């Protein structure tokens, strides 16, 4: 009906003391109110035009009221246009900001300056049809599209300002923010605060102008601080937070960011001290790389291929350090099973043969080296295992174990790692305490020294028949150094059945079967925990 709702009429009636306005009367009044308002506005626009303005002011409305012989509305004649504020919670409700002023303040305030008096300034807008380049005239390039040579010509004119390439103005707040974050990243002294900062980086909007500064900062610090493990870890956390922030459009800066990230993955040496757990950093960075590929792989088609190329090159180069190999394997593994199957498994056999001597405690006297080799071996096993797990999982008629279990297992990896390191470094003497430790965990599953020990334990409770064997196997395979001998002893009796199982699978799925056989050949029983329990139980 009318754009003035009848509620408004009722409110107005109440405000002027009419309490008994009937709804019908309000309904009748509403259209008339609208008409009168429109009439006043029509006259006000006339007044505005005659005042040679294009903005309607309160004085125009007063003028219109005057034309209609009505009393003007007092209190709005401020000269300039009125500033309206939006009422919070309403889409189209506005009010004028009308502050309460303390009378005392007004009296005590110094007298305001008298407004400047009107004056006339004279200048030449044009001389014989040509606009002179004086400050009073509008700069020419605003009007005309600046052709190349035109700008050149105008350089002679002293007063024309030529626009430089867009200058990035960073607000004071952002500058401070950047400084603070950079400080926190560098200082490493306040981890809790740094965590807060990461949360802020990952969630705050409006950080976009800082992205180029951050990428620059990260690139600089990574290249400078390769010896500083904590710094690198912090930097990678910053990268991850930036990637997580939904308000940041990081794509244009990826090409600057990627080298630093890949460096943290496959660099020969990360960190200075022996205690620096650079494995963690590599694992973390591998996930980061996978995240980037997942998010931007669609827009940058070459991103993943270039990355895998780098990683495979690092992996297949025997001259590269084992740490580099580890990083490359983790990076590839994080990229998904297909990548692993295509790039890692195909090269698995020659690589393992290369790795073999390093693994052997007798041949490799350097414990450090040996440990590194075992880490690499573990990473490879995990990658291959996950891959085969995934392959087998796709059997249509078999219920698969929930992936969360697997994740849970992975989660444990980190917890057990210090143990493992100790274990491997201290060689086999420590075996019994470790065994006890795991036993006290309440798990009767086989504590394989490699990453995925939990799935076997947790996923297999109903699978009682396997338990002995798996624990047996675990106890056998626990000491990597003596793998061949012990394992063979421990699981001799089962080998034949397993072969049968493998053959079965091979019949079912030639491809994955072959793969499995191959893996089994290479890894022996260690691969078995990766095979989903349900499938396993079926075959048993």
Of 23, 81, 191, 357, which one interacts with other proteins (CB under 8 A)?
81
Q: 94 forms bridges with which residues in the sheet?
A: 86
State in angstroms the smallest separation of the CB of 70 from other proteins.
14
Full DSSP string of 151-202: HHHHTTSTTPPPPPSPPPPPPHHHHHHHHHHHHHHHH-S-HHHHHHHHHHHH
Q: 35 or 350: whose CB is closer to other proteins? A: 35
Calpha distance 507→528 (Å, rounded): 18
Residue 210: name the closest of 255, 231, 180 by CA: 180
Q: Which of 106, 107, 111, 142 binds other proteins (CB under 8 A)?
A: 142
Instruction: Judge contact between 225 and 231, C-beta under 8 A.
Output: yes
Minimum CB separation of residue 107 from other proteins in Å reads 25
| C-beta of 128 vs 156, nearer to other proteins | 128
Q: Using the rule CB under 8 A, which residue among 19, 52, 107, 168 binds other proteins?
A: 52
Beta bridge partners of 130: 127
- Does 53 help bind other proteins (rule: CB under 8 A)? yes
Q: For the chain, report the end-to-end CA distance as a whole number of angstroms.
A: 79
Shortest CB 113 distance to other proteins, Å: 12
Q: How far is the CB of 13 from other proteins (least distance, A)?
A: 19
Return the number of the residue (30 or 312) whose C-beta is nearest other proteins. 30
**Which helix or strand (DSSP H or E) is residue 84 part of?**
strand 84-86
Given 88, 116, 164, 496, the residue binding other proteins (CB under 8 A): 116
User: Does the footprint of other proteins cover residue 163 (CB under 8 A)?
Assistant: no
**Considering only residues 9, 10, 57, 210, which one is a binding residue for other proteins as defined by CB under 8 A?**
57
Give residue for tokens 């079967």.
Answer: 513
User: CA–CA separation, 181 vs 204, rounded Å?
Assistant: 13
Site for other proteins, residues 334 to 373, rule: CB under 8 A: none
Least gap, CB of 22 to other proteins (angstroms):
18
Going through 398-507 in order, the beta strands assigned E by DSSP cover none
Surface-to-core class of residue 394, CB atoms within 10 Å of its CB (0-12 exposed, 13-18 middle, 19+ buried): exposed
The verdict on 154 binding other proteins (CB under 8 A) reads no
* Residue 317 interacts with other proteins (CB under 8 A): yes or no: no
Which residue matches tokens 């394989």?
448
Min CB(37)–other proteins separation in Å: 8
SS3 assignment, position 130:
strand
Q: Return d(Cα 39, Cα 314) in angstroms, integer.
A: 81
Binding mask 21-40 for other proteins (x = CB under 8 A): ----------xx-xx--xx-
Tell me the window of 50-58, 94-102, 482-490, 520-528 that interacts with other proteins (CB under 8 A): 50-58
Task: Convert residues 460-489 into a mask of x (bound to other proteins by CB under 8 A) and - (unbound).
Answer: ------------------------------
For other proteins, the binding residue among 9, 10, 61, 63 (CB under 8 A) is: 63
| Smallest distance, other proteins to C-beta of residue 92, A | 17
Given the complex with other proteins, which of 144 and 365 has the nearer CB atom?
144
- Rule CB under 8 A: is residue 8 a binding residue for other proteins? no
Q: 67 vs 425, which CB is nearer to other proteins?
A: 67
Number of Cβ within a 10 Å radius of residue 197: 21
Position 97 contacts other proteins (CB under 8 A):
no
* Positions in 122-141 near other proteins (CB under 8 A): 122-131, 136-138
Contact call for residue 66 and other proteins (CB under 8 A): yes
Nearer to other proteins, 134 or 301 (CB): 134
Q: How far apart are CA 337 and CA 167, in angstroms?
A: 46
Distance of CA 446 to the CA centre of its chain: 37
Q: Judged by CB under 8 A, does residue 114 bind other proteins?
A: no
Phi/psi for 500 (5° steps) reads -60, -45
The nearer residue to other proteins, 52 or 90, going by C-beta atoms, is 52
Q: Are 270 and 366 in contact (CB under 8 A)?
A: no
- Pick from 15, 22, 55, 149: which binds other proteins (CB under 8 A)? 55
Residue of 201, 216, 311 lying closest to 255 (CA atoms): 216
Looking at 118-126, 163-171, 209-217, 303-311, which segment touches other proteins (CB under 8 A)?
A: 118-126
Q: Hey, CA dihedral for 348, 352, 355, 361, is it positive or negative?
A: positive
Q: Is the sign of the CA dihedral 132, 136, 142, 146 positive or negative?
A: positive
Residue 164 to residue 530: CA distance in whole angstroms:
62
Alpha-carbon span 161 to 153, nearest angstrom: 12
Q: How many amino acids of this chain bind other proteins (CB under 8 A)?
A: 47
Stretch that binds other proteins, among 59-67, 180-188, 321-329, 387-395 (CB under 8 A): 59-67
> Interface with other proteins by CB under 8 A: which residues?
1-2, 31-32, 34-35, 38-39, 42, 46, 49-55, 57, 59, 63, 66-67, 79-81, 115-131, 136-138, 142-143
């Amino acid at each position: 009906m009318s754009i003035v709702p009848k509620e408004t009429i009722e409110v107005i009636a109440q405000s002027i003391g009419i309490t008994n306005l009937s709804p019908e009367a309000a309904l009748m009044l509403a259209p008339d109110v609208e008409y009168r308002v429109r009439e006043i506005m029509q006259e006000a626009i006339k007044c505005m035009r005659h005042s040679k303005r294009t903005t309607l002011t309160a004085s125009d409305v007063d003028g219109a009221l005057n034309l209609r012989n009505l009393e003007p509305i007092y209190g709005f004649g401020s000269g300039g246009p009125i500033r309206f504020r939006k009422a919070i919670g309403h889409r189209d409700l506005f009010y004028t900001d009308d502050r309460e002023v303390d009378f005392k303040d007004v009296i005590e305030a110094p007298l305001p300056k008298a407004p400047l008096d009107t004056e006339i300034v004279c200048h030449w807008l044009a001389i014989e049809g040509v606009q002179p380049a004086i400050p009073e005239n509008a700069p020419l390039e605003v009007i005309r599209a600046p052709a190349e040579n035109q700008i050149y010509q105008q350089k002679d004119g002293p007063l024309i300002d030529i626009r430089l390439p867009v200058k990035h103005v960073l607000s004071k707040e952002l500058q401070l923010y950047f400084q603070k974050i950079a400080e926190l990243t560098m200082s490493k002294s306040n981890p809790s605060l740094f965590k807060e900062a990461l949360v802020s980086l990952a969630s705050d909007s409006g950080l976009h102008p800082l992205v180029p500064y951050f990428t620059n900062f990260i690139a600089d610090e990574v290249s400078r601080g390769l010896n500083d493990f904590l710094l690198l870890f912090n930097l990678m956390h910053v990268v991850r937070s930036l990637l997580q922030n939904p308000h940041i459009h990081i794509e244009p800066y990826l090409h600057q960011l990627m080298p630093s990230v890949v460096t943290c993955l496959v660099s020969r040496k990360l960190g200075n001290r022996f205690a620096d757990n650079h494995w963690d950093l590599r694992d973390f960075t591998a996930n980061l790389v996978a995240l980037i590929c997942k998010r931007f792989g669609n827009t940058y088609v070459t991103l993943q291929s270039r990355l895998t190329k780098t990683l495979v090159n690092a992996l297949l180069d025997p001259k590269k350090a084992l740490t580099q190999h580890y990083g490359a394997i983790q990076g590839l593994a994080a990229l998904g099973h297909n990548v692993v199957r295509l790039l890692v498994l195909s090269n698995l056999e020659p690589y393992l043969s290369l790795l073999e001597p390093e693994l052997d405690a007798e041949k490799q006297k350097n414990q450090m080296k040996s440990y590194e080799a075992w880490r690499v071996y573990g990473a490879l096993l995990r990658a291959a295992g996950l891959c085969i797990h995934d392959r087998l999982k796709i059997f249509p008629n078999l219920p698969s174990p929930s992936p969360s279990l697997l994740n849970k297992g992975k989660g444990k990896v980190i917890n057990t790692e210090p143990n493992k390191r100790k274990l491997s470094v201290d060689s086999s003497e420590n075996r019994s305490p470790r065994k006890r430790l795991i036993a006290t965990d309440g798990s009767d599953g086989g504590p394989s020294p490699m990453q995925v020990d939990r799935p076997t334990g947790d996923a297999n409770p109903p699978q009682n028949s396997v338990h002995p064997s798996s624990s047996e196997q675990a106890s056998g395979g626990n000491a990597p150094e003596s793998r061949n001998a012990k394992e063979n002893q421990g699981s001799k009796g089962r080998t034949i059945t397993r072969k049968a199982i493998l053959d079965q699978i091979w019949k079912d799925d030639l491809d994955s079967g072959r793969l499995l056989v191959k893996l089994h050949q290479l890894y022996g029983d260690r691969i078995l925990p990766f095979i989903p329990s349900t499938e396993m139980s079926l075959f048993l």
